[in-house]
Amino acid sequence: MKYSIFLLVLFTSFLNSQQINLIKEWKHEKELLGKLLYSVVDEQGDLMAFFDKEGLFLINDEKCSLISAFGEGPGEWSNVVRGICQYKNGVAMRELHGRVKLFIRNDSGYVFDKSIWVNSVSPAMLGKDLFYYNKRFIIIGMEMLKVEETDFRVNRLKVFEEESLKAQGSFINEQYKGPTSQYETTFFLVVDQKKLLAVKENDLLVYEIDLDNLKEERVVKLKIPEGYRRMPPDFYQFKQNQSNNQFVKNLEQWSTSYSAVTKAVIVKNKLVIQIRSFDQSDMKFAFLIYDIHNGYLLENIIKTNDILLGQHQNLLYCFKNGCPLLDDEADSLTISLFSFGEKQ
């Protein structure tokens, strides 16, 4: 499949006192083969994107370069990748079994620094993603607490201290009526004034966590917009003798047929959550703009066909027409950068 990267104006929308406008265009030629699984914008404003079957790429206005490919080398990945995140002046990439590869910035881009092991002991998290904040790694996934036929209890976040790599606490306890595949869902983590906000992928809930005191403070139910299609409660219920092909089909069905949260960022004290939308607008996604410090008031909704990848200094980074190999219309790798600011 052939991809090119360029930035294209998608929309201009006014959010009460805010506006969003295209400010830059990038274009590169690159053939990519896999689905976009993870993305993060680094401190320099470069996009780091991990594509299944292909690897970790650095993308900016001058180049699109491969940072880490599949292989057995020190800077390569040899197991399923389960998350990337910004790490100090670099980027961290976690593999399924608990190894985290650290890459540091240099003049030409990124170079491999070292590997560390986070959560490599039993009982391990079934990791889905990775986050770093204030000398702590946070694994997003599922830690089994109780496994019985009608009583299945788990934790969804686990915090590890960076220096010792010892577990410091677990958060978001969930209980199901039986075994579940909910470990395939995730949470999107953002920081607001030293408070960690965890946005649930398959429900419009925000968990507020005080990391300094390792305390879960409250759960906020966000206002649900028109066009929100909720996942059936039994969708991820464990099914006996389910084929791997059916499981993969279920994952794609969840990602494209219900209102999965695709990303959450904070821009100018606003919590910006993107979901799949199913109203009459014929747009794939909706940006939901919540005022964090005004009771999470839903201020506005912006419709778009582009999937949110991250933010940097009030810029929103988007991939045109959705996710490659998941959305058929995403047939060119198109990144659009938009400013988010006060209306002049």
Question: What integer best gives the mean pLDDT of the chain?
Answer: 86
List the Cα angle 114/140/167 in 5-degree steps.
Answer: 65
Burial category of 163 from C-beta neighbours within 10 Å (exposed 0-12, middle 13-18, buried 19 and up): exposed
CB neighbour class for 248 (10 Å; exposed up to 12, middle 13-18, buried from 19): exposed
- The answer to whether 187 touches 140, Cβ cutoff 8 Å, is yes
Q: pLDDT, tens digit, for every residue of 165-195?
A: 999 989 999 998 888 888 889 999 999 988 9
* CATH value at residue 121: 2.120.10.30
Question: Once rounded to an integer, what is the mean pLDDT over residues 200-213?
Answer: 94
Does residue 108 register a pLDDT over 60? yes
Return the residue matching tokens 């990144």: 335
pLDDT per residue as tens digits for the range 41-64: 999 999 999 999 899 999 999 889
Provide the pLDDT for residue 103. Answer: 97
Domain count, the chain: 1
One-letter amino acid for residue 44 of the chain = Q
66 vs 121 pLDDT, higher one: 66
- Is the C-alpha dihedral spanning 104, 109, 112, 117 positive or negative? positive
Domain of 255, in residue numbers: 2-342
Rounded Cα gap, residues 254 and 262, in angstroms: 12
Measure Cα distances from 1 to 64, 274, 333, 341 in Å.
16, 27, 10, 36
